[in-house]
Structure 1
Amino acid sequence: MAEPDPEKVARLRAALDAYTPGGGIVDRAEEEALAPVRKRALGLLDQRARSRAELRERLIRAEFEPGLVERVIDDLERTGLVDDATFAREWVRQRAARRGKSARALDAELRVKGVAQDVRREALEQVTPEDEEAVARTLAQRKAREIKQPPAGRAEYDKYLRRVVGVLARRGYGAELAMRVAREALDARIGELEECM
């Protein structure tokens, strides 16, 4: 049988001498204070991904002590459960595809969620001007299809146009793009309706 390493034995003795019952590697009182914060944070993250600032705000609003909140969020960030860059990329990808949001609207949403400007900018690179125009055109065509008869005059045409432009404006599209795409979709729909008459 090999002789024990004297250095290893000395380190173990020093660790045993420093050990105090109730102490040790894990500080039980500290862990008990962090546990409810961690549980609430994981529950919030289980619902959907969140930015660091958004998670902090929700936990502090739940009346957890700010120092404990920061420690829990730091731990979650180290493990990759909180990552603003990943959150922002997913937010942009999903909201652009499913809701037809413009890059401008998505930038505003991420800013409200406390995502840093450089992280927002990088995430928004996924949305090209061509993508935005294609989505805007699809939204305008969908709204224009709701029109069942050609307008009776200029006032009715303008009313239809305002409805189509409104759909695009609410999703953050700029005035020039919204007006151009809305006119194209509306004129095409009116042409279809007139052919059927």
Structure 2
Amino acid sequence: MDGNNGCSPAGRQRELTVDQLRAAVSTLESRNGSGFIDIEAEKDLAQVRHRALLLLEHRSRSRRELDRRLGDLGFPPGVVTDVLDDLERVGLIDDESFAVEWVRQRHRHRGKSREILDRELKEKGVAPDIRGRALGQIAESDERDMALTLARKKARTTVAEVPEARADRDRALRRIFGVLARRGFPQGMSMGLARQALDERITELR
């Protein structure tokens, strides 16, 4: 527990997110506080806004991702665009912040490589320059350390006894290498680290 009112960092972040959503709703709903209001148009906006905020309450999303989700739900493209513009103005859509957090979380907690993370952000419609800045958080040494950690973990679960036959050793090596390859780590680096992890595991067992 954190010393600040007994809230954990995750709890405070959750409260901040809820407060942001509430503030955004207040801002968006009051934008036509003076002058003529098109009731029917506002109803359409309110429906899209409500669904967009529900999606953002679950987790942050890129603008393109939200646009696709809302479009798939059958909302008119023009209304979706207006709502997303509003959300961007109040800071609830920010592709830069989204990309930075996406890379940080998925590299640290899921062991994703720069290549895989770049592909994921591209699929979510994040612009190349923003992707590049977000991926800049991961140094080459950090990526190598992450790959080696994954290789060692796989070696421990794959190799229970010293492989005496060459075929058994090669099979174990392929399994360790496969874990790294599926996460998009460079092939040359992955094979070298797979061999290192396997050799270390064999040494432990002898």
Mark the runs of 5 or more structure 1 residues left unpaired by the alignment: 1-22
Which aligned pairs between 1:26-175 and structure 2 lie closer than 5 A? 26-146=37-157, 147-175=159-187
Please identify the structure whose Cα radius of gyration is greater: 1
Q: Could you tell me how far 1:153 is from its partner in structure 2?
A: 1.1
d(CA) in 2 for partners of 1:111, 1:68: 25
Give the TM-score normalised by the residue count of structure 1. 0.85
Alignment partner, residue 13 of structure 2 = none
Measured against aligned partners, the alpha-carbon deviations of 1:139-189 in whole angstroms (never above 9, x if no partner) come to 001111111101121111110001101111111101011001110010010
RMSD over aligned Cα atoms: 1.0
Question: Does the residue aligned with 1:86 lie in a helix, a strand or coil?
Answer: helix
Q: Could you tell me how far 1:25 is from its partner in structure 2?
A: 4.6
Q: Could you tell me how far 1:127 is from its partner in structure 2?
A: 0.4
d(CA) in 2 for partners of 1:36, 1:120: 31
Task: Work out the percentage of aligned pairs sharing the same amino acid.
Answer: 53
Alignment partner, residue 7 of structure 2 = none
Q: Does 1:188 align with 2:182?
A: no
Give the TM-score normalised by the residue count of structure 2. 0.82
Mark the runs of 5 or more structure 2 residues left unpaired by the alignment: 1-33
Alignment partner, residue 31 of structure 2 = none
d(CA) in 2 for partners of 1:50, 1:91: 9
Question: Does the residue aligned with 2:196 lie in a helix, a strand or coil?
Answer: helix
Measured against aligned partners, the alpha-carbon deviations of 1:109-129 in whole angstroms (never above 9, x if no partner) come to 000011000000000000000
* Equivalenced residues, count: 172
Letter in 1 for 2:188: E
